[in-house]
């Protein structure tokens, strides 16, 4: 962490340094400053924060730079060779001659020669005729060139590029707010172009699901520059290699999901966070829970570079920062192609005939768009065949034994699965209680796929959800079938709302908008509005105008009507006013202590004790709870939470600082697993 000339520790108790592992620190001053800030802000031990910022292989001892194994012939070897040695070993002789001829070679080069060479090298080494060296792999400065110039920018795009470019070399936070297809990515590319031309590097964060071959392809098409790509599907070794490319400065663009915010980027010039509202930027598991978007802004501040937060549906927090003058607002109001924004309409589920989850007007609309050669996207946020297995005779419902949840029917696989704990059981034919036949109730993406198949015989239907992409290569296959036009209808979950561009989709049907309207989580409406706008953005990106149908049992709900009448801006205004009245974030600051235990009692007992410890609260800090989580039992453990709220961030953190230390010493803490989440985005 640092070095000093003197110490308060008695000299006899100081430990000697055995070895210097890395000639250049893996965390430079800027990284230490950022991580130190994160440890303080998220109230997490600095050691774990640092460890979390480094690839596992590095923590286990791999070198930060990587080294190259080289082989050279010795003077003794030269003499031996001149004397005609070795006489009877052709392999050895050939290797020795080769090394003499080229003055030494890397192991990688020797690997490319025909035949194996390791045994021969060992024998030559034993006689002292050749030697092995290991040298640090130094990265050569890499050029970055623009392969193909982009299209001429529209006025709004130019204005956005100019605004951010004027801030290169110092901190500035910019919200690039434009609907899907308005040319945000093009703005990022232009800015990165300037950063590269200035000899600097760019860091790009994308959501878990946004890192598509399409996006990578666009970067590679534009730039002839080494890129390091970091995401969660890499093996430890792959991650190490990508990290080294970033660390050495070889990579000019470092691109990845959440944890890439910690990647080393020497001479950083710009940070981009694409789809900044996306929930995957929030690490909400494990010990160290952070927001990669918020850390990106802090990193930009420390590094004195601009940060661009792009989205069609900025988070309400972000819009609040715009209103407060902390972030600049750059708008892209028009789509780049001559296409019009899609028309949104609500479909009242109470007054239309509904067959297997699809209302008749929606069926007719699908028919119409198919007849017009359009493609159709049907969105339902529930994978599987049906969310419930029911016995109509006795009312039995297949429950998960480990969770307060129902098991989802996966008909094709013949299984019942829990989407919360992963429990998996065979699908029964008869009710275990009364022996009567059971039936799946409700809709999942698989069942919608089946229903549409029956409604539109001969039309090819594709499906995209987590069950599909789990199979390797399936995502690409679905994309291919949609892009080629082979598939005419795509049924999918959240997964279809991001990243993929299907220009021929002219109709989007949102099957159930109501899940987000009546939730215990105050952020649910925001997520619903974002989903609707994002999924609507998939319609009509080509030359044809798009149509969006939203099925709901509550078409008069103010959230839906404001969203339809005034778009996301109108919704955001109304939702922020509501949050302000209720004193929810961003008008207050929140932290959550969550715990889980083997009994509901133990989970509540710890949080109750924790609350008692805070008898005398500082002014302006409130405790809410403890309460059992909305789904209290999950994976066999009982969950509860206690919220800490304050209108002032400083007050909240002051309180947490003194309180958390005491929590650890509570006897009831030993019976639970607990964690702190600062700025939680999901409340249970
Ligand atoms: P977003 O990131 O906002 O979804 P993109 O940058 O991907 O938008 O742009 C949408 C499409 O329009 C892409 O195919 C892109 O190549 C194209 N595009 C972007 N800017 C322009 C422009 N100024 N002129 C013509 N086409 C453009
Ligand atoms: Zn029964
Ligand atoms: Zn379960």
What is the predicted pLDDT for the residue at 2? 80
* CA-angle at 145, arms to 140 and 150, nearest 5°: 155
Cα-to-centroid distance, 430 and ligand 2 (Å): 8
- Ligand 1 atom with least separation from CA of 153: 23
- Is there a common fold for 343-386+442-580 and 589-678? no
Residue to probe by mutation, ligand 1, list 157, 178, 181, most atoms within 8 Å of CB: 181
CA of 179, closest atom in ligand 1: 3
Ligand (nearest to CA of 405): 3
Across 8-56, the runs of DSSP E, i.e. the strands, are none
pLDDT at 136: 65
Determine which residue's CA is closest to atom 9 belonging to ligand 1: 183
How much distance in Å is there from the Cα of 683 to the middle of ligand 3?
Answer: 19
pLDDT of residue 137: 63
* Domain 589-678 belongs in CATH node 3.90.180.10: no
pLDDT at 142: 66
What class does CATH assign to 145-332?
alpha beta
- 31: Cβ–Cβ under 8 A, 6 or more apart, which residues? 53, 262, 264
For 11-59, CATH gives: 3.40.1440.60
Q: Do residues 488 and 375 touch, judged by C-beta distance below 8 A? A: yes
The three state secondary structure string of 617-662 is CCCCCEEEEEEEEEEEEECCEEEEEEEEEECCHHHHHHHHHHHHHH
How far is residue 335 CA from its own chain's centroid? 26
- Which protein residues are within 6 Å of ligand 1, measured from CB? 151-154, 157, 178, 180-186, 336
According to DSSP H, which parts of 456-557 are helical?
466-469, 474-483, 524-536
- Whole-number pLDDT of residue 655: 93
pTM for the full model? 0.84
CATH topology of domain 343-386+442-580: Rossmann fold (3.40.50)
The pLDDT of residue 113 is 81
146: Cβ–Cβ under 8 A, 6 or more apart, which residues? 193, 196, 222, 223, 224
Instruction: List beta partners, residue 67.
Output: 136
DSSP-based three-state secondary structure for 481: helix
Determine the atom of ligand 1 nearest the C-alpha atom of 274.
2
pLDDT at 325 (0 to 100): 96
Distance 632 CA to ligand 3 centre (A): 11
Q: What is the pLDDT of residue 273?
A: 98
Given a cut of 50, the residues of the chain with pLDDT beneath it are: none
pLDDT of residue 656: 93
User: Which protein residue's CA is at the shortest distance from atom 25 of ligand 1?
Assistant: 151
DSSP 345: E
Domain ranges of the chain: 11-59, 67-136, 145-332, 343-386+442-580, 589-678
Retrieve residue 313's tokens: 């549906």
Task: Measure the CA–CA gap between 322 and 13, rounded to whole angstroms.
Answer: 53
Cα 440 to averaged position of ligand 2 atoms, centre (Å): 13
CA quadruple 279, 283, 284, 285: dihedral sign: positive
Show Cβ contacts of residue 482 under 8 Å, excluding neighbours closer than 6 positions.
375, 462, 490, 500, 502
Q: What is the pLDDT of residue 444?
A: 94
State the distance from the centre of ligand 1 to the C-alpha of 182, rounded, in angstroms.
Answer: 6
Expressed in angstroms and rounded, the spacing between residue 546 Cα and the centre of ligand 2 is 46
E strands, 418-493, where? 424-426, 438-441, 461-464, 489-492
Q: Where are the alpha helices (DSSP H) in 69-172?
A: 75-82, 90-102, 107-112, 118-126, 155-165
């Amino acid at each position: 962490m640092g070095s000093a000339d003197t110490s308060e520790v008695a000299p006899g108790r100081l430990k000697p340094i055995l070895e210097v592992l890395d000639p250049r620190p893996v965390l430079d001053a800027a990284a230490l400053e950022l991580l130190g800030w994160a440890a303080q802000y998220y109230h997490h031990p600095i050691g774990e924060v640092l460890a979390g910022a480094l690839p596992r292989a590095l923590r286990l001892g791999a070198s930060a730079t990587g080294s190259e194994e080289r082989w050279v012939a010795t003077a003794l070897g030269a003499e031996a060779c001149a004397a005609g040695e070795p006489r009877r070993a052709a392999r050895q002789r050939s290797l020795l001659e080769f090394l003499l001829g080229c003055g030494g070679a890397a192991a990688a080069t020797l690997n490319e020669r025909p035949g194996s060479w390791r045994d021969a090298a060992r024998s030559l080494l034993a006689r002292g005729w050749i030697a092995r060296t290991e040298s640090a792999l130094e990265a050569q400065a890499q050029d970055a060139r623009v392969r193909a110039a982009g299209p001429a920018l529209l006025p709004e795009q130019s204005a956005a590029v100019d605004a951010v470019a004027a801030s290169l070399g110092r901190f500035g936070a910019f919200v690039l707010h434009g609907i899907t297809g308005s040319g945000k990515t093009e703005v990022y590319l232009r800015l990165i172009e300037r950063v590269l031309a200035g000899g600097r590097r760019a860091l790009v964060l994308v959501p878990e699901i946004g890192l598509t071959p399409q996006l990578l392809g666009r970067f590679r098409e534009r730039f002839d520059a080494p890129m390091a790509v970091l995401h969660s599907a890499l093996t430890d070794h792959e991650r190490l290699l990508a990290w080294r490319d970033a660390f050495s400065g070889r990579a000019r663009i470092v691109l990845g999901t959440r944890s890439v915010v910690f990647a080393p980027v020497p001479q950083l010039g710009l940070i981009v966070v694409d789809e900044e509202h996306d929930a995957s930027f929030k690490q909400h598991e494990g010990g160290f829970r952070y927001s990669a978007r918020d850390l990106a802004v802090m990193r930009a501040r420390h590094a004195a570079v601009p940060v661009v937060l792009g989205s069609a549906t900025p988070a309400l927090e972000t819009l609040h920062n715009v209103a407060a003058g902390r972030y600049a607002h750059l708008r892209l109001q028009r789509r780049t192609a001559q296409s019009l924004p899609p028309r949104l309409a609500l479909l009242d589920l109470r007054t239309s005939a509904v067959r297997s989850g699809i209302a008749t007007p929606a069926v007719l609309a699908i028919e119409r768009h198919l007849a017009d050669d359009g493609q159709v996207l049907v969105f339902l946020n529930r994978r599987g065949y049906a969310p419930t297995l029911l016995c109509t005779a006795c009312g039995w419902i297949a429950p998960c034994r480990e969770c307060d949840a129902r098991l989802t029917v996966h008909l094709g696989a013949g299984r019942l699965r829990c989407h919360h704990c992963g429990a998996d059981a065979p699908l029964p034919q008869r009710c275990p209680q009364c022996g009567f036949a059971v039936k799946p109730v409700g809709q999942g993406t698989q069942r919608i796929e089946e229903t549409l198949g029956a409604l539109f015989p001969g039309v090819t239907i594709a499906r995209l959800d987590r069950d599909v992409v789990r199979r390797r290569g399936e995502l690409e296959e679905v994309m291919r079938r949609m892009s080629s036009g082979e598939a005419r209808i795509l049924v999918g979950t959240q997964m279809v709302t991001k990243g993929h561009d299907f220009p021929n989709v002219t109709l989007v049907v949102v099957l159930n908008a109501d899940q987000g309207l009546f939730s215990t989580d105050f952020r649910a409406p925001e997520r619903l509005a974002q989903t609707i706008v994002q999924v609507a953005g998939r319609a009509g990106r080509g030359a044809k105008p798009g149509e969006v149908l939203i099925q709901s049992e509550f078409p008069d709900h103010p959230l839906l009507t404001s969203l339809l009448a005034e778009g996301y801006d109108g919704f955001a205004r109304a939702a922020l006013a509501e949050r302000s009245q209720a004193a929810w974030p961003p008008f207050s600051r929140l932290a959550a202590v969550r715990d889980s235990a083997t009994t509901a009692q133990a989970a509540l007992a710890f949080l109750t004790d924790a609350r008692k410890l805070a008898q005398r609260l500082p002014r302006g800090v409130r405790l809410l709870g403890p309460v059992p989580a909305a789904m209290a039992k999950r994976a066999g453990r009982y969950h509860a939470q206690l919220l800490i709220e304050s209108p002032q961030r400083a007050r909240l953190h002051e309180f947490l600082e003194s309180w958390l230390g005491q929590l650890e010493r509570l006897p009831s803490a030993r019976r639970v697993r607990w964690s702190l989440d600062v700025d939680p985005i999901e409340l249970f």
